[in-house]
Structure 1
Amino acid sequence: MSLLAPDSPRLPSRALHGILCVEIGTLFFVAQDAMMKSMLGLYPIWTLIFVRSVMSVLVLLPLVILLGGPHRVLTPLWPLHLARAALFTAGFSLFYAAFPFMGLAEVTTIFFAAPLITALMAALWLKETIGPHRLGALIVGFAGVLIAMNPTSDAFTWIAILPLLCAVTYAASQIIARKIGDRESTLTVGLYTLGFSGLMILPMGWGFNQIFTVAPEFRHLGWSLPHALPGDLPALALLGLLGMGGYILLSRAYQVANASLVAPFDYTYLPIATLVAYLLWDEVPGLNTLFGMALITGGGLYLGYRELRASRDTDQPAAVAETLFIPGSPLPQQIPDEEEIR
């Protein structure tokens, strides 16, 4: 029996659903990272990540409790959430540590090895197929990453490795999201991952400062208890909300769609971040960064184009609970399968 009336519009596929989540989440993350770069002169990394975590918990915990249904505070999947939080916390600490030394375009271009690594990890551990077209696109993308890093240049420093390490941890966290899959709602995934990251970041920052002597040029890695100037509270709150919104949207994307399908659409971050960096700080990326960015973006978009042509709803993961659960309804709102729509 059809779920839709004959004249009802066809619902979007899970592939389109995932891509839209990635694109909107990308805009959130560009705004968040621009704020991070601006505020690192005032607050250490540990404080900014902690504030983002606190804001996320203040929003997500009441929602999870109020909406109920598929959303839960206590879950047997907490070890997977804990693993995601550890990867998230460590990886993005490395990512933001590079901000004072590199332009936003340079840092993010190197980080965008992550979608490529995600596709490879998905092939290895989720058994997702990589055909010749996808393989070629991945090779082009990785070549772009190497060109952007330019490791043979005299200007190359070890700082450039930090966003690449973040890319590895980010890719691994997205594979864990697929492992969680339809067993968890997006709100619960966000609550646990972002909440745990807040618990981890302060001991991580304190421990780092016990092991290493922080030089003046690395003052953004120095240790101090979280604090905020009263005039900065609105900006810190906005920073937390932007990070939470972007993270939830990307988590949602990787839950409802094939990981190697939605990953290339992260690439739209690059031109947007480059434009924002130019407008805010007059940053002009070097030719190697622009060339590498072009290869990464071109390879990623071609990969996405091939996947969109080949994708069918029946080949993608089962639908999961929507982010919002309608009060009073006994079931979560889900995306119907293609056969149900017909």
Structure 2
Amino acid sequence: MAPLNAPRPLLGIALVIAAASAFAVMDTTIRYVGSYFSVALVLWTRYGLHAAIMTLWIVVSRQRSFRTANPMFQIARGALLAFSSAMAFAALRRMPVAEFTAIVMLTPVVATLVARVWLKERISPLRWGLVVGGFVGALVVVRPGSGIIGWAALLPLAAAFSNATFQIMTSRFAPHEDPFTTNFYTGATGMAIATPILLASVADPIDALMAAPGSQVAALAAVAVLGTSGHLMLIMALSKAPPSTLMPFQYAQLAVAALAGYIAFGVVPDGWGWVGMAIIGSCGAASAWLNVRAAAEKQRPVTAVAADTVSD
């Protein structure tokens, strides 16, 4: 029998595609519940159930711990991801899932810019070309002035910048933390941030839940389950295959998002939308691969949480 942690690249690829699919379905579900529930309630449920699920996971698995060596890292990382989620949830109330996903998938490209500004890293001409190419793809998707999406496109772009900063911070600190512990603090920090926002919101969350159809409440709970399981599948995938093998397959999220958007809302990107998504996917996958290769050259291990290209 093979060792538990023996490399199994095909299983890793299957898991990362499943994770990408979970995130795409989650985004589609968020768009579905957005007409019934506020962003604050969706955000709180997303991270509250995330924290509860990870708490149960750690308690049941006696080999895990809530102890963290870098509490400030956990708080800052969780806050960045919570902000990304808030921007994403607000965007999904206003724009199609496929186009939203395409813009968020700029994260590896945006990470290049963040690294240049924050870490003063030297950027090669190839990387600059991918940055320009990624933003050209975003312009093709959005087509400013066309009235197709409008100002709402700034929301997933803000999520991409926040998530890029989150990734860079994670890549520098996560090797010193248990990824399951980090995943717990992701939910706990997000819940702590969302709680006062929810309490300060005009609508009473209890009244909103009581007035909503049962299918909407179930869909709201599914948002948290899909997000948490997606992150856990990424962790398991990275234990079976190296990030350089898995990164390109995360872009399956673009295709699944388009399919889910069609099934749920009957909406599909037009011809130019597909062109822009293809440009973003190509530039993003290449940027992600270069990021992984650079990390390997520095002999710094890349963990599952560092490899996330989503803001959910």
Q: Name the TM-score class by shorter chain.
A: 0.7 to 0.9
Q: Is the 8 Å Cα contact of residues 52 and 240 (structure 1) preserved in structure 2?
A: yes
Instruction: Confirm or deny: 8 A CA contact 1:118 1:172 kept in the other structure.
Output: yes
CA-based RMSD of the aligned residues comes to: 3.9
Q: Does the CA contact (< 8 Å) of 2:91 and 2:156 recur in 1?
A: yes
Q: Could you say which residue in structure 2 is the equivalent of 1:292? A: 276
Corresponding residue of 1:43: 37
Deviation at 1:24, TM superposition (A): 3.0
Deviation (angstroms), 1:314:
6.9
Is the counterpart of residue 280 in structure 1 residue 280 in structure 2? Answer: no
Note if 1:191 corresponds to 2:175.
no
* Aligned residue type for 2:209: A
Which one-letter code corresponds to 1:247 in the other structure?
H
Deviations 1:260-317 (A, max 9, x none): 9866553221121011111221112234322211111222345567789x78967653
| Structure 1, unpaired ranges of 5+ | 210-221, 323-342
Larger Rg: 1
Which residue matches 1:228?
209
Distance (Å, rounded) in 1 between the aligned partners of 2:53 and 2:10:
27
Bigger mean CA offset, 310-319 vs 238-247: 310-319
**CA offsets 1:92-114 (integer angstroms, 9 cap, x no match):** 21211122321112222222221
TM-score by length of 2: 0.78
Matched, 1:12 2:7: yes
Residue 78 of structure 2 is aligned to residue 95 of structure 1: no
Alignment partner of 1:269 is 2:253: yes
**Distance in 1 between the 2:144 and 2:214 partners?**
42
Normalised by the size of structure 1, how large is the TM-score?
Answer: 0.72
Paired AA for residue 278 in structure 2: A
Deviates more, 1:81-90 or 1:197-206: 197-206
C-alpha spacing 1:206/1:320, structure 2 compared with 1 (3 Å): closer
Conserved in 2, the CA contact under 8 Å of 1:24 and 1:246?
A: yes
Cα deviation 1:233-286 (Å, max 9, x = unaligned): 543333211111223444677899998986655322112101111122111223
Give yes or no for contact 2:44–2:198 (8 Å, CA) kept in 1.
no
Structure 2, unmatched stretches of 5+, are 306-312
- Is contact 1:264-1:303 (8 Å) kept? no
Assess if the C-alpha contact under 8 Å between 1:175 and 1:259 holds in 2. Answer: no
> Given the superposition, is the C-alpha separation of residues 108 and 83 from structure 1 closer, same or farther in structure 2, using an over 3 Å criterion?
same
Q: Give the counterpart letter for 1:137 in structure 2.
A: L
**More helix per residue: 1 or 2?**
2
Say if 2:226 is the partner of 1:242.
Answer: yes
Aligned to 1:317: 300
Q: 1:105-147: per-residue Cα shift (whole Å, max 9, x none)? A: 2222222221211244456667887555444333322211122
Which whole-Å deviations, capped at 9, do the CAs of 1:32-84 have from their partners, x for residues lacking one?
11111111122112112211222222221132234344x32132411111111
Same amino acid, percent of matched pairs: 27
Aligned partner of 1:142 in structure 2 is 135
Mapped pair 1:179 → 2:172: yes
